[in-house]
Structure 1
């Protein structure tokens, strides 16, 4: 898949997820096979650009190309300025958020709420595209509600506005993440457009990725929640799409080493206090469905320093590797 000058290979992409797709996670997913990773959304209001949160979100030093930064907001001029600012700070692709279903985002008429105002969508897209000399991409849902599906209309507006690629999550805003994603709308969008289309929603295995690509005709798949605690899903999908064969599951030793490396990067990136706090959700995802995971999470979530968090994680996974019970009482 080609987006402007950037060749996206393999055609499996990490979806933008607020609070998840930070720099450590993006770099890990790229190393494990993602062809492109989109950042968590950065707010377009300049008065927030110099907060610690925004400074971390705009840090792309050492990140492999291409660097895709998602921006969120409502005002076309402000979004254009945010696009320019992020390009000046390393962004090689600008992605516009019209897919987030969160109430606090939609209440400000941003995210997927924008799909309810098609003239505003056109103004935003054309203004941002004109503001920067890098490709601008867009992420949307199928519509606001079941009786307000307008993804096809928004898609045509996007192509006419100069958007370089379009990602479609196969749910309406009012579904949030409930029910099952439907792919017929994505197929209709792909059939109507000349620009690349990415299919998103419920893609949690190599077989599902291949099915969605066949069903929709999309140029790539975009994976979000299924990568949480399973960043190796990108190499699994890429290998299956290339060969039709499944890779073996990662060994417990590899899972342990990937996780410990991820924790170390989080600690280095955010510092001891924030790094430990942010790492807790990732620990829960990596440990999900593993033996004694509830006891492990209860203990490790009480760790308040990097050394303790790393030690407890290593001890738990070492026990899994050895096939012996993990002693929660001794660890605590």
Structure 2
């Protein structure tokens, strides 16, 4: 059998470029590339999509849905990095660490939806606690998530890195104030919550890195675990996972820098607090485990490679 053939539809976008960077030096795959003058040519895209064993969709939602409609080859498999299919029937949600057997669940899937960056941080802490019935699905959760500007795509990157940057861009900016952020649907469905969390995303003047934090009153959790006990519970849950780790409770830093894992494809959870209250913070690179690194991890599972092949951990 020859090398798997991979095509990135939308390879010039932020996520597509990062996937290409992770795959470009690998000799265990064949990477198809579209000519610059053909990037918007529907028939050329159709040809490449159907020549590929696996296609990454790094496109806006409507374009991603259109790309799926172009598939005629029954053997072509898809990883969609857009929001379009994250809660859609027939699609597997691409967060390997949330499955008992990711090699079976994701590895055998034809259509995989890559998680959103904020959703990744939220689900990393909340989903296991709901799975273990420590956190009840009707808990009224709140979450805030600090991110670097690269998650906003090329337009936002240009604003932050331009020579005439407005003064307001030097400070953290809360957004999504209508409380209808596009990641909320997957945050609720994949976690198993009965209602979406009150979610506050914040973008700041640094390139990449995220810190997504959930705050809990321990008395409303099953067994009323302390912060230390929650740390141990999550550490046990992720004990055999190479991409996600839990920092020892004894090493709680005074400050949690949101860019500490910039350039990494890993994710680290820190549990802080005391007997009565806890904060659970997931830190990772919004372009790594929050996007392109996660997509490559899913590709590895789907094609039978080592899960961490091509990743920086």
More relative contact order in 1 or in 2 (CA 8 Å, sep 6+)? 2
Q: Point out the structure with the larger strand share.
A: 2
What TM-score do the two structures reach when normalised by structure 2?
0.29
Higher-helix-fraction structure: 1
Given the two structures, how large is their TM-score scaled by the length of structure 1? 0.28
